[in-house]
Amino acid sequence: MTINFNELNNLQLDVLREVGNIGAGNAVSALAKMVNRKIDMSVPKVKILEFNEIPDMLNAPEEPVVGILLGMTGDITGHILFMLDKKSARLLVNMLFGFKESTSEEFDELEMSAIKELGNIMTGSYVAALSMLTNLKILCSVPNVAIDMAGAILSVPAIEFGMLGETVLYIASEFNEGDNKVIGDFFLIPDLGSYETLLKTLGVII
């Protein structure tokens, strides 16, 4: 069976959006525990996009961003990507290390390691929520972190489109700690067979 995402009904789309909501909420809860601060999250914007539509969804696709990419194996295969603009990444590092005024857009080796761990915990928590919701076994690879233009970072999973589908579950998240606003984008990029597995497990296709 091949899923045509243009023909998904409202129930199926709502279920996929709810998966995005729950995963993003779980990830932000994990972040709050890690930095030991109260963090509020706005309702995520969840969309199903063609892969080539992603750059148009980003505010400034030519600007450097921080990307954390993990592979998924097990009952669902594909990738999950978490992207932050550099300002948001700096805010997270400041929260973690207790820096008060640092606005530098450059990150030393220790800070890059911290960003990698933050991304690892947030994306891992997202996948854990997905696994718990579906009772599917999903394993994550060691994350890779890079600072580059969004298009360059997105090219990594695109290269593997011989095995992956062209549809992405896009979750735009905004969370706040006091007056600090962090904007992060999650991209769940399963192969087409994994979308079918996901929808069957959630009971919206048979």
User: pLDDT tens digits for 51-106?
Assistant: 777 766 666 667 788 888 888 899 988 888 888 888 888 888 888 887 666 667 78
Residue pair 31/120 in contact by the 8 Å Cβ criterion: no
Q: Is 67 among the domain residues?
A: yes
- Domain count within the chain: 1
Residue spans of the chain under pLDDT 50: 1-2, 161-164
Asked if residue 206 is part of any domain, the answer here is no
pLDDT value, residue 1: 47
- Give the model's pLDDT for residue 61: 62
Q: Report if residue 12 sits inside a domain.
A: yes
Q: What share of the chain is helix, strand, coil (3-state, %, to 5)?
A: 45, 30, 25
Bridging pattern class, strands 167-177 and 64-74: unpaired
What CATH number does the domain containing 74 carry?
A: 3.40.1550.10
- Where residue 7 falls (left for φ over 0; alpha for ψ -120 to 50; beta otherwise) is alpha
Give the global pTM: 0.79
The whole domain housing 98 covers 5-201
Structure tokens at 180: 């600090």
